[in-house]
Amino acid sequence: MMTNPETVAIFFGLASAVTWGAGDFSGGLASKRTPATSVVIVSQIVGGLFLALLGLIFREGVPAPESLVFGVLAGIAGVVGIVALYSGLATGRMGIVAPLAAVISAALPVIVSLFTEGLPLPTQLAGFVLALVAVWLLSGVGLQTAVPWQELGYAAVAGSGFALFFIFIDQIKDGSLFWPLVAARIASITLMSLWVLGRREWVRPSTNQLPLIALAGTLDALGNAFFALSARSGRLDIAAVLASLYPASTVLLARLVLQERLARLQWVGVFVALVALLLITI
């Protein structure tokens, strides 16, 4: 029995949201004790090795040069987003920074998709709007507790970086998956290493932090692979919006592990996100 490509896209989009959210929580938690730049470098190395191993296991062929170029561009954009996000998660409130970054990362691919793939179904379009509203509510904007400009800045940079990552990964059309993502990791590791060494900011993570950082890198790599599969199976806007629901798992883990509390409007945001998901998937 053949599976509907759109159903496959939805499944992988949600899978990327879950794994990215858990990876961001792990990376943000590690960044509370280790500089975000060091966390990113080590986690990117672990994730790159993991993706290369998958490429060898599945015997994926060498991709076209343009696919590797898009992979490199995606890696540069993604690492800027990750550093900004981890820094925001470490110095600000996870339940604020992650959702704000998500709404920005979802909005730009939706606009691009409107020009390249046309309008989605009316129910899906309504779901996109509700998803953005849900992330806005989750961010706590409008609550009595003001959102500091520092948190807004980190979220804006992170969201823009992730949006460009989504768009560049969607341009890989030759059927390759793992090796362009490995190229993205090589680019991000090189960029971060040059930055850290040039500013002499390298701090070796402590041994007890390495498992958490390795977990963050592995989950981030899985999220990348799931998103690429989602974008390849369906529309970019569907993949990007669903993947941008990753703050749900970040916020949930922050609530369970760090005892961060959600305001009433943020719980409303959780409900609105579920309604948005229903509209996108029907």
% the chain with pLDDT above 70: 92
Mean pLDDT taken over the chain: 83
Most confident by average pLDDT, 180-184, 195-199, 245-249: 180-184
pLDDT at 246: 79
Task: Give the model's confidence band at 1: pLDDT under 50 very low, under 70 low, under 90 confident, else very high.
Answer: very low
Question: Is 144 a residue whose pLDDT tops 70?
Answer: no
Question: Is 106 a residue whose pLDDT tops 50?
Answer: yes
Q: CB within 8 A of 10, min separation 6: which ones?
A: 230, 234, 238, 242, 280, 281
The DSSP code for 209 is G
Question: Is 105 a residue whose pLDDT tops 50?
Answer: yes
Look at the chain and report how many structural domains it folds into. 1
- Determine the structural domain holding residue 232 and report its residue range: 5-281
Using a cut of 0.85, tell me whether the model's pTM lies above it: no
How far is it, in rounded angstroms, from Cα 255 to Cα 249?
10
Question: Do residues 125 and 237 make contact, with C-beta atoms less than 8 angstroms apart?
Answer: no
165-195 pLDDT per residue, tens: 999 998 987 678 899 999 999 998 998 888 8
pLDDT at 116: 84
